Every structure is written in C-alpha cells, then in structure tokens.
Structure 1
Amino acid sequence: MRKILTLLMICYVSSYAIAQDQTVKGLKSDSERSIAKDPADTTQKVWKKGGQYGLNIGQGSLSNWAAGGDDFSLSVNSVLNLFAFYKKGKHSWDNTLDFNLAYVNTTTLGSRKNDDRIDILSKYGYALGPKWNASMLFNFRSQLFDGYTYTETTRTFASTLLSPAYVLFSPGFDYKPNENLSIFISPITVRWTIVMDDTLANRGEYGVEPGKHSRNEIGAFASVNYFKDFNKILTYKGRLDLFSNYKGKAKNVDLYFTNALNVKLNKILSLTYSLDMIYDDDVRLFGPTKTGARMQLKSMLGAGLLVKF
C-alpha cells in the first residue's frame, strides 16, 4: 500500500512540474509576440516638425609677421532653420523660420556684422488635385541689429530692426510635383516695404518717400522652394522669389535667391556653403553716383557644428 501511495505521489509531482513548465513557456511566448496594428486604426500624423542649428567659428592671429596682416581676427556665423508642416485631408499649412547672424572682429577694423536675417514664410493650401493647391502665402523678412556701410575712414548707419522690413500677402496656386519641390505663382500680390527708423525714413531709403515709413506695391509674384537630402552626407536648400511691380517698371523684376549646401563630416560637424542674391529695383545705393540698383551678392563658407532635431 505504501508503495502504491509513493508511486501516485511521484506521478502527481511530475505532472505538476510539466504543467508549470508549459505555463512558463506559454508566458514567454506571449511576451515575445509582436502586437499587430488594428487594421481599423487609420490615424495619420498631421504635423511634421524639426529643424537644424549650425555654428561656424574661425580665428586667426599674427605676431611679428613680416608679410603683414591683422594681429587678431575672429568670425562667428550661426544659422537656425525651423519648420512645421501640417497636412490633413485637403488642408495643408507649411511654416518655416530662418535666422542667420554673423560677426567678424579684427584688430584694425573692430567688430562688424556681416549677416543678419530673419525670414518667416507661412503658406496655407487647399488641395485641388494630387499636385495643385489653392494657396495663401505670407512672408516677413527683416533683421534684428543695426547695420552699417563702411568706407576707409567712416561708417554710415544703413539698417536696423524693421528698417527695412518686407511684408507680403499673396493668394495664388501652388504646384507640388513631389515632396521636395514647391512652385507658387500669383497674379495679384501686395507687398509692403517698411522703414520704421526715422533717420532712414527721412533719407528716403529702400524706396520709401522721404519722411514716410512704408511703401506698398501690387504685382505678380512667384516663389520656388526646393529641399533635398541627396544622401546621408549632402543636403541642399534653396528658395527663389520673383516680384514684378505693376505700378512701377514691371520688366525690372525684383529677385530674392537663397542657397545653402551642407556636407556632413560626422555626427555633429559639417561643411556649409551659402550664396544669397538680391536685386531690388527700389534700392538705389550703388554705382558711381550712389543712385543705381545693382545685384547684391553674399557668400559664406565655413566648417563647424551642425545639429538636427
């Protein structure tokens, strides 16, 4: 009898252990199983946000240098680009903010600003088809700090916050053949040139009448925006704005063209080249008599920190 009870006890313990082992294996299998998305859940992300910040610094020094030069030089260039894109159904809203600021300091010339720009672009669109939108575009451009023009012996106050500033409202049509390219066209656009500083306004700078603080124009407008990550190393961003004033010389088209090329060296370092071109027929500060309009060019090349977020 005792042998029979012992045998039954062994069988019970064995069966319990086997059951426990199967339970553990089942729990492990359940924990490793991937969770499948519910096919009925079609929620899409409507906002896409991000940006990048770049900082380039250069420094040089000379001591007892026979060939000549400045004893000390320092250049600092910073660029901030932010974006927020919204898309839901037939509605889209594209927003970008670009802020550039750069200074150069040398022993003989002192500190001088060589870049200062704040540029806000906002564009609402309603889809008319797969590639066409009816859109409304808003653009604001200005700067933050005082700017000067220089001769060998003097400097002249030339610009500051909201002097000038450019504000543009433009209803039109936006063609987007792909996610990298946007071509906006408008037959009727209103643009204001603002000069809030009294000194500059009294001089009649930037096309405003002497003593007045603003000037409005009506004309045709086109804006081409292109952004492309060619690979993990090379990135290009460009924008071309064209404006023809119906109330002035329509054939003298104002141009605003920005280009930025980034070559990534490693996770945080990059090589950056930028080229800006501006032609404004109302800005007549150039030539022998300082009364002519000219193509304005600015290029910068630097290596430094680049952080994307």
Structure 2
Amino acid sequence: MKITPYLIGLLFILVIPKSNAQDVVRTTIPDTTSYWHKKNSIGLDFSQIAFINWSVGGNNSISGLLKGAFLRNYIKGNVKWKNELIVRYGVNKQEERELRKTDDAIQLNSTFGYRHDSISNWYHSAKLNFNTQFTSGYAYPNTDLAISKAFAPAYLFLGVGAEYSNKEQKLNAYFSPLTQKTTLVLDQRLADQGAFGVDKATYDEAGNLITHGKRSRTEVGILVTNQWKSEIYKNIFLDHRLSLYTDYINRFGNIDVDWQLQLDLVVNEYVKANIGTNLVYDDDIKSKKEIDGVQVTQGPKIQFKQLLGIGLSYTF
C-alpha cells in the first residue's frame, strides 16, 4: 500500500487521543484578545544660551524640562474607562543665580463611561481628577519660605454626569451637575496662613495660637470640561483642554478656570518642538509679591504660563 500525506494525517488523528488533540489546538492558537490600550510617552526639552565677550551683555543660562504621559484605556462593548497620568518637572539655571523651578505638575485623570448602544456618542460617566506637584515652590528670590509644597496644594475632583465622546472628531466634552472638589493643604504652616482657600488659624489678641488652620476644604458644584486633540496640519498637533468649575454654596457663579493649550510640531519620530500655554483663575488662590524683602498677600489674579521648547521624545 502506498503511503500518502493524506494517510499520514489520518493516522495522526486516530492515534492521538481526543483530549491531547484539543491541547495541541489550544497551545498553537493562543487567545491574545485584550481590551486594554496602552501608550507611554517620555520626553526631555532643553534650551541653552551662552555669551563670550558679548558687547551688549547677557547671562549664560540653561533650562531643562522632563515630562511624561501614560495612557491606560479599557474599551469593551459599551463600556469605556480612560486613565491618564501626566508628569512634568522643569528647572532653569542662570549665571550667578540659584537653580530655579520652572514647571512642576502631577495630573491624574480617570473617566468611566457606559452607553446604552454602540451608536450613541453619549455616556453616563463618573470622573476623577487629581492635581499636585513634586517639590516646593518659592516667590523668588526669597527661598527661605516655600509658598507651595507637595500636596500643598492638591486638588481632587470627583463627580458624576454625562460625557460626549466623538472619536472621528477627536472631541470630548463632560458635564457634571454634582462634583465634589477637595482642596488639600497638608503643610500646617501654609494651612495656618489660609493658603489656597482653606480656613486659616485663629489667634487671640496677644497673638497666641488658638486653633490651627484646616488642612482641607470641601466644595460641591458644577464641573464642565472639554478636550479636543487633532492634527491641524501635517505633523502639527493641537491639544486643547478646558476645565470650568463653580461651587453651589460659596459664591455660586464665580468660575474657576483652568485652560491648557499645547501645539506639538513633529520633526521626526524622536525630535519634537512644542509651544504651550496655561491660564488659571481661582478666586481662592491669593497672589503673593515680594516687597522690601517681605512676602505680601494680595487678591486673586489671572495666572498665565507660557512654554516653548524643543527636545527628544520617545513613545512606546
């Protein structure tokens, strides 16, 4: 009898037990389905200027900004869970001047959403936002007393509402009629000063401490956020983020604003330039100014920060 490949295959099926054959199939075709989508991005921006016999004068300086963005998104059926961690830390060193901090941020955003069908762009959502910083901040050139520290302040938003998410337009909007805002000032000295809106310490007429300032403050109000991120031109990406919050009890209608705008210009896979702005207004944050060597607390003001950098970026 002539042995053919067909006959060999038939004998193989008959000889191997059924359970073993199933094991072979299971090991050769693994289940690789995952509903998690991950993206990590780290970068280093830097700038430097140096002078040698420069007739019009100038100070040598160097700046660096280390940043990272880490995404963990879960999508399955009508359930979506988006998680984002953003970190930044920047410093600047000028000739004959101490090292100074230029940027410092830790931001954690998490949004859980559920929709009734696969067509709708509207989700029932719950959102958590947390913001703080790594190290102390100062009203330079005074570096004796910090005006902010890690977890002083820290802001926690937790609420429920509705989210509109359009993947094609890369547009996201969230509205929550019930959001709790917690402000933390875990440094007791700053809390005693009533920094960042917490209740300050009380003293008697002789200046003796009666009660320490509270290290937290809780509010309940309305939160509206909006994000749009898209390629507006070839290799030019715009990221717009806006957050608006007002408290029901304390001065309703007085809106806290946090608006971030960033423009990324991609040179190649590893080199990028970016321009960023951040506008903040919070009625609870009092401005501080150095006058004749003394820190003077003034009223709330619009805060504005602008960043321009070019550096290395790696995504994995």
TM-score w.r.t. the length of structure 2 is 0.79
Contact 1:47 1:85 in 2 (8 A): yes
> CA separation of 1:154/1:47 partners in 2, compared to 1, >3 Å: closer, same or farther?
closer
The Cα of 1:282 is off from its aligned counterpart by 0.4
Q: Which residue of 1 aligns with 2:67?
A: 79
The separation in 2 between residues aligned to 1:193 and 1:149, in whole angstroms, is 21
- Counterpart Cα distance in 2 of 1:65 and 1:155: 34
Runs (5+) with no aligned partner, structure 1 = 1-41
1:284 and 2:273 aligned: no
Q: Deviations over 1:141-178 (max 9, x none)?
A: 00011111125x66641111101000110100001133
The one-character-per-residue Cα deviations of 1:196-224 (angstroms, maximum 9, x if unpaired) are: 01121111100001111000111011111
Please say if residues 150 and 156 of structure 1, whose CA atoms lie closer than 8 Å, have aligned partners that are also in contact. no
Give the equivalent residue in structure 2 for 1:304.
311
Cα separation, 1, equivalents of 2:85 and 2:277 = 18
2:216 and 2:114 map into 1 onto residues whose CA distance is 32
Matched residue, 1:184: 174
Q: For residue 199 of structure 1, give the secondary structure of its aligned residue in structure 2.
A: helix
Give me the whole-angstrom Cα distance separating, in 2, the residues matched to 1:99 and 1:233.
24
2:113 to 82, 104, 125: 125
> Is 1:251 aligned with 2:253?
yes
Superposition pairs for residues 133-144 of structure 1, below 5 Å?
133-144=123-134
Does the residue aligned with 2:196 lie in a helix, a strand or coil?
Answer: helix
User: Structure 1 residues 232 and 43, CA, compared in 2 at 3 Å: closer, same or farther?
Assistant: farther
Asked if structure 1 preserves the Cα contact closer than 8 Å seen for 2:139 and 2:288, the reply is: no
Aligned letter for 1:290?
Answer: T
Report the CA distance between 1:231 and its aligned residue.
Answer: 5.8
By how many angstroms is 1:236 displaced? 2.0
1:55 is aligned to 2:44: yes
Q: Partner amino acid for 1:300?
A: L
Say how many residue pairs are matched.
267
Q: Percent identity over the alignment?
A: 30
Distance 1:154 1:243 in 2: 32
TM-score, normalising length from structure 1? 0.81
User: Do the aligned residues in 2 keep the contact of 1:286 with 1:293 (CA within 8 Å)?
Assistant: no
- 1:1-309 correspondence to structure 2 within 5 Å: 45-70=34-59, 72-129=60-117, 130-151=120-141, 156-179=145-168, 180-210=170-200, 211-230=213-232, 233-285=235-287, 290-309=297-316
Who wins on radius of gyration, i.e. which is larger? 1
Gaps of 5+ in 2: 1-30, 201-212
Question: Once superposed, what is the RMSD of the aligned Cα atoms?
Answer: 2.2
